[in-house]
Amino acid sequence: MIPAPFTYRRAATVAEALDLAASAGEDAKFLAGGHSLLPLMKLRLATPETLIDIGRICELSYVRDAGSYIAIGALTRHHDVEHSPELAEHVPLLAHAAGQVGDPQIRHRGTIGGSVAHGDPASDLPAVLLALDAQFVTSSGREIAATEFFRFLFETALVPGELLTEIRVPKQSAPAAWSFMKFRKRAIDWAIVGVAVQGDRVGLVNMGQVPLRASAVEAALAGGASLREAAALAAQGASPASDIHATAAYREHLAQVLVRRALEEAHSR
């Protein structure tokens, strides 16, 4: 498949990227690693008039200890998230999950910010960041909670011309109580269903039109339910799709099984 015609621009700094976006108008899209946007363009599901390549903006690639949280530049590659000593010490769930994204080629090119800004409910890291209570910082200075960021399928709280610049992940008081599991056909495939657990917070991958927190599970745990009893509520409030990979009913069953296993693993660490 061939994308519709578009104009290509490359930015070397955040300021240049924002200037290019302002001049291009609302039909411009930022391009980071390209693993999410380009396939949609090839299928003509996305037809931006202008692509602004931000992949070489070095100022947005970092992992820093900022006291109460770890600051991650939006253009930090999955590989660098996976191997960050700061994340390994304070937020091991995120480091581990980044190492499960795609294959080595994808992890060396894909970025954490690109995954977040794309807003794909089948992507691993948005659900992980939901479970971690992350905050997203934009080029306009806004700080948006992960729970408020994902609005609809491929739609986020970002406005046209606004750039995601940083992800802030609170240091976990009990970093050992975590788990990440997903079910997929092949190692490089999107998850049919995935689960991220940090303490008693649970994020769900591919269980609706946005990444989700399993609020019914979390409420049951807070109320003293057993892990098995809480996991049985994993699909409550979700709206999984039926497609060529799985029916909605199968995804609901998978969510219950994976949440139970993930909770058991997290609470046994």
- The reply to whether 154 and 74 lie within a common domain is yes
- Inside any domain, residue 14: yes
- Inside any domain, residue 232: yes
- The reply to whether 45 and 62 lie within a common domain is no
- The reply to whether 199 and 264 lie within a common domain is yes
Of the two residues 269 and 253, the one the predictor is more confident about is: 253
Check residue 258 and give its pLDDT: 98
- The reply to whether 78 and 155 lie within a common domain is yes
- Inside any domain, residue 72: yes
- The reply to whether 95 and 33 lie within a common domain is no
Check residue 43 and give its pLDDT: 84
- Inside any domain, residue 1: no
- The reply to whether 45 and 88 lie within a common domain is no
- Inside any domain, residue 138: yes
Range of the domain at 39: 7-53
* 3-state helix/strand/coil string of the chain: CCCCCCEEEECCCHHHHHHHHHHHCCCEEEECCCCCHHHHHHCCCCCCCEEEECCCCHHHCCEEECCCEEEEECCCEHHHHHCCHHHHHHCHHHHHHHCCCCCHHHHHHCEHHHHHHHCCCCCHHHHHHHHCCCEEEECCCCEEEHHHHEEECCEECCCCCCCEEEEEEECCCCCCCEEEEEECCCCCCCCCEEEEEECCEEEEECCCCCCEECHHHHHHHHCCCCHHHHHCCCCCCCCCCCCCCCCHHHHHHHHHHHHHHHHHHHHHC
- The reply to whether 114 and 209 lie within a common domain is no
Average pLDDT, integer, range 141-149: 97
- The reply to whether 63 and 158 lie within a common domain is yes
- Inside any domain, residue 210: yes
- The reply to whether 96 and 159 lie within a common domain is yes
Average pLDDT, integer, range 20-41: 86
Average pLDDT, integer, range 221-235: 97
High-pLDDT (> 70) share of the chain, %? 100
The yes-or-no verdict on residue 1 having pLDDT over 80 is: no
- Inside any domain, residue 140: yes
- Inside any domain, residue 2: no
High-pLDDT (> 90) share of the chain, %? 82
Q: What is the pLDDT of residues 188-199, one digit of tens each?
A: 888 999 999 999
- The reply to whether 86 and 165 lie within a common domain is yes
Number of domains in the chain: 3
- The reply to whether 137 and 207 lie within a common domain is no
Average pLDDT, integer, range 13-28: 92
pLDDT confidence tier of residue 122, bands split at 50, 70 and 90 = very high
Q: What is the pLDDT of residues 76-121, one digit of tens each?
A: 999 999 999 999 999 999 999 999 999 899 999 999 999 999 999 9
CATH number of the domain residue 123 falls in: 3.30.465.10
Whether this prediction's pTM lies above 0.75 is answered by: yes
Which of 108, 137, 170 lies at the terminal end of a domain, its last residue?
170
